[in-house]
A and B are shown apart, each in its own frame.
Chain A
C-alpha cells in the first residue's frame, strides 16, 4: 500500500480516537483554558478590591495621633485611607473599627524635635489580601510624611532635594534595525512577552503532546493492538506519519491557545494605561488601542513564533516517538518523559541565560538550542530575518531527520517486538 493512503487511514483513525477520548481532550485543553480563567478570576478579585479602596479607603487608627497632627492630615487627605475613632476598650479589642493600627511612641513629637530616628509600629490582625493592601497604603502615607520631614530639615539646612539624589538614571532601548518584528521603541511590553518562551515549550510538555505519543505508540503495545497493524501490508512510515500528524495537530492547537493568551496578555498590559484613561470605547476602538499599544507588530510576532515553533514541535515529537516506539511499556517510556520534563526546562533556562545577547548565525542552526535562542531573540527584538531563516531551514531539516528516525525505529523488529507477550 502506498504511504499516502496509509497516512490518511491512520490519521483519520487516530483523530477519531482522540476526539472521542474525553479524558485525553480534557488534559490537553484544560490547562490553557482553565489556568487563564483562574488568572482572570484573581485579576477580577484584585480589581474589585481596588475599586472598593477607591470608594471607601482603609480604616486606620493612629495611636497617640495627637503627637503628629500633620500625619493625621495626611491620612485624612489620602484616598486610600481614612481615620477612625479609637476602640472603646483597647485592652480587649485593640483594633475597633480600624483594619490597621499605627502606633506612635508617647514622645513622638519630642523625638522628632531632637532629630532622632523614630520607630513607628504597624499592627495588623491577619494576613488577608485586604490587610496586605491596607499595609501598603499606610506605608505609602508614612513614606510621604517622612519625605515632608526630610524636605523641612533640608530646607532648614539650606539644601535642596537634589542634594540627596546626586545621580538620576534614564533608560532607553536600542532596537535592532534588522529585527524581524520591526521597531519597538517602547519595548516595555516585551518584558512580559518573555513568558512566551517557557510557556510555549513547557506547554508542549504539560499540554499532553507527550501523553498522546505515549498512547499512540507504547499504548499500542500495552493494548496488544500493534500486531494487528504489523500483519497488514501497510507502510510503516505511513503509520508513523499518521500518528505523528495527530500529535502535531494536538500540540499545535494547545500551543496556539497558550500563545494567543500570551499575546493578549502582552497587548493588554501595554494598552492598559490608555484603556484606563479612556472614558468609553467601542470594541473596535479597544482592539485598535490594544494592537497599536503592544508594539507595532503583534501579528508579525505571532507569525514568526509559529514559524520557529512548528519544526521544533515536529522534531521533539519525532524524537519522543522514536523512543516510545522502542520502549516495551509505559514504565520504560515514562523514564524518558521524566528526563525530558526535567531536562527541557533546565536546558531552556541555561540557554537563555548562558549565551550572550548577540550570537552568530551558526548558533541559530544548532539543533534544539538554536530555536530557544531564536525565540529569546525574537522577544528581545534582536532576531534578524536571516537568523529566522537559518533557524527555520535547519529546524525543518532536524524535523525531517527526527521523523525519519521514528519511522526507521518503528520499522525495526527489535523495537516492535519489545514488550510483545
Chain B
C-alpha cells in the first residue's frame, strides 16, 4: 500500500508539489492524471525516495519515505519516464546488475531474470548489448529492472509514452497482471484512455495539488460529463476560473490599500 499525506516539494521559489494526499491499495491501479508540469513526476520521485519532500510524508508498505528509505526502496519498483540503459550491457546484465544492487544473487535471481525476459517478451534481445535498442525495447528492459526484486508496490511514470500499439498493449496487459497478482500500482499519465482502461481510481493533479479523486465513473458522474476527458477539462477549468477569481480579488484589495 502507498499512502501519501500532504506531500509537498519546493524547488527554490517554485512549489512543484503543494499538497498531495492519496492512498493506493494492494490489488489496485491508482492513476495520477494531470497536464504536463502538474507535479506528477515530482510526486512519484518523492515516493521512490529519489528526492525528499519539503513537508508532508508518505509510507510504502508501512515504511516511511523520510526515515526508512532503504526499506521503501526494497518494497518499491519504479519505471522512470525517460530512463535509459548502459550501451555495452545486455538486457540480462542490466537485470542482474539491478538485482545485485537489491541484494539478490544466485539461482533465485537468474530464475527471476528468465521469468521477466519471458513475461515481457524480451527473449530476442535478452543477450544483446543495449546499443541500438528501440524505444520500446528500452522501456521493456527498464520495466523489468523495476520488477527484478519482485516489489509489492510499483510506480510507473508514463508507462506507454513513446511506445507503438503492440508494445502499449503488452505494457497494459502487464499492468493488469500486476493488479491480479495483488500488487499496488500507481501510474502517472496524461492519457485519458489509459486511465479509463487501466485505473481503478484516479486523482486529478493540477499545479501540484490533487483537485479531485475517485473512480473514473465517479468523476464522470460528479461533473455530469460524457467521458473522463470532459470531466478532466471541467475540473482543470473550474480550478483555473477559481484561481483567476482569487487573483482578481487580491489585485482589487491591493488597489484599495494603495
Contacts and interface: CB of A to CB of B under 8 A. Distances in A.
Interface of A: 1, 5-6, 9, 13, 16-17, 20-21, 223-225, 227-234, 413, 416-417, 420-421
Contacts of A227: 45, 48, 50, 78, 80, 83
A283 B81 CA distance: 63
Contact of B145 (A1, A9, A228, A417): A228
B87 interface: yes
A421 B82 contact: yes
Interface in B71-103: 71, 73-74, 76-78, 80-89, 93, 97-98, 100-103
Contacts of B89: 13, 16-17
B84 A224 contact: yes
A56 B242 CA distance: 100
Contacts of A421: 81-82
B43 interface: no
Contacts of B87: 17, 21, 223
B86 A413 contact: no
B101 A223 contact: no
A21 B86 CA distance: 11
B142 interface: yes
A6 B78 CA distance: 20
A5 B102 CA distance: 11
Nearest to A20: B88
A29 B166 CA distance: 45
A34 to B, nearest CB: 23
26 contacts: A1-B70, A1-B103, A5-B103, A9-B97, A9-B101, A13-B86, A13-B97, A16-B89, A17-B87, A21-B87, A21-B88, A223-B85, A224-B84, A227-B45, A227-B50, A228-B142, A229-B101, A231-B73, A231-B77, A231-B146, A233-B101, A233-B102, A233-B103, A234-B101, A413-B52, A420-B45
A413 B50 CA distance: 7
A16 B146 CA distance: 22
A413 B51 contact: yes
Q: Which of A16, A224, A229, A233 has the most CB of B within 10 A?
A: A233
B73 A233 contact: yes
A224 B82 contact: yes
Contacts of B45: 227, 417, 420
Given A17-B86, A21-B88, A223-B85, A232 B93 contact: no
Contacts of A17: 86-89
B245 to A, nearest CB: 34
Contacts of A224: 80, 82-84
A9 B49 CA distance: 22
B167 interface: no
Contacts of A225: 83-86
B87 to A, nearest CB: 7
Contacts of A20: 88, 129
Contact of B102 (A21, A230, A232, A413): A232
A230 B50 contact: yes
Contacts of B76: 231
Given A231-B49, A231-B50, A417-B50, A1 B101 contact: yes
B4 to A, nearest CB: 17
Contacts of B129: 20
Nearest to B52: A413
B152 to A, nearest CB: 15
A6 B49 CA distance: 19
Nearest to A239: B101
Given A1-B103, A17-B89, A21-B88, A231 B142 contact: no
A228 to B, nearest CB: 6
A414 to B, nearest CB: 9
